[in-house]
Amino acid sequence: MKKTAGNIFLCLMIAVLSGCLLFNAGAEDADPAEPLIVDLDLSGMSGTVVYAQVYNLLSDPAPWLGKIIRMAGYYSFYDDQEHGIVYHACIIPDATACCAQGIEFIWAGEHHWPEDYPEEGAELTVTGRLEIYQEDGYSYLHLVDAEVLWETQK
């Protein structure tokens, strides 16, 4: 019995430490000069595959929460004047460009909208850690601590 309890304790400690390492991948104390280690890179995939993968992320985000994701798409924003919040997103159209999926992002560092952001519709690449947040009783996904690059910066 003691051996089993010891094994369970050891397994739990390994799981906790692994989880800490996983969720610290984009931690605030990380060196901003170090590039993020990407767990899922959607930026080089075909339009159909990317669209399907983003749909899967939005439908079942649990396996990807806390992971670093890179995606390429088009910049869009929504200025919610009622709440005083500007939401920024990377929009990814499907292969026929008839439909689109998008993921909101929170750009790491100090940036002012609109002067520091690209023009709406500009091609950009966003890399960040996937998190879920609650707002007005609903759950939303976004990429936090994100690196954002667009054509004039690449």
| 3-state SS, residue 152 | coil
* Residue 28, both tokens: 């605030």
- DSSP state for residue 63 in the 8-state scheme: G
CATH number of 31-150: 2.40.50
pLDDT in tens, the chain (154 residues): 444 333 333 333 333 333 333 333 334 444 555 677 899 999 888 777 888 888 888 899 999 999 999 999 999 999 999 989 999 999 988 777 777 888 999 999 999 989 999 999 999 999 999 999 999 999 999 999 999 999 775 4
pLDDT score recorded for residue 34: 65
Q: What is the per-residue pLDDT for 139?
A: 93
What residue ranges do the domains of the chain occupy?
31-150
Q: Tell me the pairing of strands 100-107 and 138-150.
A: parallel
* pLDDT value of residue 92: 86
pLDDT of residue 40: 93
Spatial CA neighbour of 145 closest among 96, 97, 95, 111: 111
CA distance 143 to 135: 16
